[in-house]
A and B are shown apart, each in its own frame.
Chain A
Amino acid sequence: MTPVISRGSRVVVCAAAMLLGALQPLALIAQDPDPLSRLDPQTRYTIELIIDSARVAGVPTRLLMLKALEGQAKHVDNRHTIAAVRSLFHTLLDVRVALGSALNESEWGAAASALQAGVPLEGLAKFRGDRNGRPLLRALVTLTDLIQRGVPVSEASSAILQLWSRGAGESDIYGLWKSVDQDIHSGQNPGTALATRLREVPVQVAPGSKIPPASQEPDNPSS
């Protein structure tokens, strides 16, 4: 007669199987394989439609997903979250018009932020072309921040584009930003602080970069 599995063994095996089944989902949660699952189904559906459109259009989709997650984290109304994601999608399409598609994800995000801060499309397009290793990302982030801190869009765009055209390096742009930031915190007018500090930036012309004529200014933006 064949011995059968004892009751205790069966209990242990069943418990192990259940525990194993419980552990695997935990591992999947740790990987966060589906971040959009945090959204309610209707919002998620709409966001996925936008993301799908972005995929077809060839703009980065991860930035859109992150925007949706940001809205969820900030407990923003679903309609506003969808509106923000949709707005970002359209802004990314504008970025592609201004700068082309040869950008990394960070540059896409920085350029979109610059447009959202009020930099006109024509102004952003002036950063297009051969960079000669110059820091597009730093330039765009600094431009956006200066506008956020109260520097008029036209003055901020002109200053950063001037540095960019003269072949300014990352340290030059960062140095300018830090000085202006200090001046603003000490109570100076943002626009005046930028104009003053801009004259102090010792820029070496990078090989291959063009020095614009003195009259060259970016188009007057509508801020």
Chain B
Amino acid sequence: MTDQLDPYVDWIAREARRPVAVDPMAVERVMARVRLEAPPTVRFARWRWLVEPRSLPLSPVVGAALAAGLIGIGVFLGHSTIDRGSLTRTGQFKTVVEPRPPLASVHDTVIKFVLVAPQASTVSVVGDFNNWQATPMTRTPTGSTWSVAIPLRPGRHVYAFVVNGANGTTQWVADPTAPLAPEDGLGAPNSVVLVGGSAS
């Protein structure tokens, strides 16, 4: 290695060490331009306040209370928007006295569906009033009859019973006490119930 620098490097070093002559008015010109810039508006200031990250002091107890409140709001909103159909309209269930009401045009909004099926393990009623999703029926104390009370809107409703046997078989059964609807290519025929004044 030699201590003698390359002439070109030496020239660069000298140039770098040479003091830079700055125009005394340059600082003034720059500051004048800065002062000419409009200050940030209030709108942007508020937005910056909203999005600016910050630390939130929160104890575990307050955090838990806040969480419980949010859950409560969610449950309340969800519960209050569920459509309960005519149940909310009538406010109470009324049992239809007639044991086989689907034949009759009743003025109550609650219809009691009844099926005698002593061998069944479970029985459900499905129809247009529950979007063809099963509503379970309960076995009466006698053990052979199944029933369920469902609030129905006035008009014509189509339904059937789904009987699950003890041996695991499932059978769609029309109500033997009600008028029949024609079979239309979907298998088991359905029954018809007329409800309320609009039946006329």
Chain A, residues 92-125, CB within 8 Å of chain B (1/0): the string is 0000000000001111011001001110000000
Report the Cα distance A153→B84, complex, angstroms.
40
Residue of A nearest to B104 (CB): A174
Contacting A104 at CB < 8 Å: which of B64, B73, B155, B158? B155
CB–CB A9/B199 < 8 A:
no
CB–CB B55/A137 < 8 A:
no
B contacts with A, residue count (CB < 8 A): 53
- Nearest CB of chain A from residue B66's CB, rounded to whole Å: 7
Verify if B179 is at the interface (C-beta below 8 Å from A): yes
What number of residue pairs across chains A and B have CB atoms under 8 A from each other? Answer: 171
Q: Which range contains the number of A residues in contact with the other chain?
A: 35 or more
Give me the interface of B with A, judged by CB distance under 8 Å: 54-60, 62-64, 66-68, 70-71, 73-75, 77-79, 81-83, 103-105, 126, 128, 131-134, 155-156, 158, 172, 179-182, 184-190, 192, 194, 198-200
Mostly, the A contact residues are helix
CB–CB A16/B194 < 8 A:
no
Give me the interface of A with B, judged by CB distance under 8 Å: 2-6, 8-10, 12-13, 15-17, 19-20, 23-24, 26-28, 30-32, 35, 66-67, 69-74, 76, 80-81, 83-84, 87-88, 104-107, 109-110, 113, 116-118, 133-138, 141-142, 144-145, 147-149, 170, 174, 177-178
Residue of B nearest to A110 (CB): B156
Report the Cα distance A74→B134, complex, angstroms.
11
- Nearest CB of chain A from residue B102's CB, rounded to whole Å: 11
CB–CB A148/B182 < 8 A:
yes
